[in-house]
Amino acid sequence: MRELADEAVVLRTYKSGESDRLAVLWTRHHGKVRVLAKGVRKTSSRMGGSLEPMGHVRVQLVRGRGDLWITQHVAHLQRHATLRSDYARLTAGLSVVEVVDAIPTDEAADEGIFDMLVRVLMTLDTPEFQPDLVAAAFFFKLLAYDGSEPVVDACVTCGSPGPLVAFNAEVGGTLCSSCRSGTSISADALRLIRRILGGDLASVLRDVAPPGGGEVMALALAAIEIHFGKRLKVARSTATLAPRRPAAPEETARDRGVDGA
């Protein structure tokens, strides 16, 4: 195949030479592709503003050397002005594309992931939805889509219905007091994760600073990093923005036992 025309989301870009730019795209029908936009950094270039991270675009490409494609035409489909005008939304969006970029290049094209990516960016671009838990919800949804959804309705080790007091991404979900390991989880955070995975996501994202939100972001980050086996720099910065519920003194002491500190 010498030519490629597809819908894409820009995951990452970086400079190449004096006036070119390399970009990594997740396309609807061809998965992850690497493209070279020649002369795009010149002030006269018509494509200059099109290849920006999180951009939803339509591209026409021709085959270059190796696995590299050369851009012939790039056109915006969604500019995401609201997303780009707010720091929390922007950071959440960048953490989302960072996670998609962590998907191995050799995996087959996946239109489902593309649709999820487009939807999450549109959610961040919608003012009625709060940005705090959008990235966390995407991480959990991506794990579920991949068949790695964490267990949150019983103890992942013994099957006990509870009480569930801890979450361990390495073993796959929540744990009871007898099997506990990993990180303590509050009832508020557990309810939020269940709502996210159980079909109540839109309602969750309309809430302003819901109790347990900071815990949920930290747990989602741990789960997605373990899944891909790498640290995610932008996602970690997003986790620090999420409001956290102050721990009670007895909970703090209990956490020390769980975490082995």
3-class SS of residue 125: coil
Give the list of residues 6+ apart from residue 140 with CB closer than 8 angstroms, or none: 149, 150, 193, 196, 197, 220, 223
* Cα gap 58→135, rounded to integer Å: 24
Across the chain, the runs of DSSP E, i.e. the strands, are 3-16, 20-27, 31-37, 56-63, 68-78, 164-168, 173-176, 183-184
Pairing state between β 183-184 and 164-168: antiparallel
CA–CA gap between residue 9 and residue 28 (Å, rounded): 9
Whole-prediction pTM value? 0.86
Amino acid letter, 14 = Y
Per-residue pLDDT of the chain (261 residues; tens, 9 = 90+): 689 999 999 999 988 777 788 899 999 999 999 998 886 666 555 655 678 899 999 999 999 888 899 998 899 898 899 999 999 999 999 999 999 999 987 667 899 999 999 999 999 999 999 999 999 999 999 999 999 999 999 999 999 998 999 999 999 999 999 999 999 999 999 999 999 999 999 999 999 989 999 999 999 999 999 999 999 988 888 776 655 444 444 443 334 333 332
Question: Which helix (H) or strand (E) element contains residue 249?
Answer: helix 249-259
pLDDT at 105: 75
Question: What domains appear along the chain, each with residue ranges and CATH number?
Answer: 3-79 (2.40.50.140), 82-259 (1.20.1440.120)
- How far apart are the C-alpha atoms of 151 and 243, rounded to whole Å? 24
The CA-to-CA distance between both ends of the chain, in Å, stands at: 56
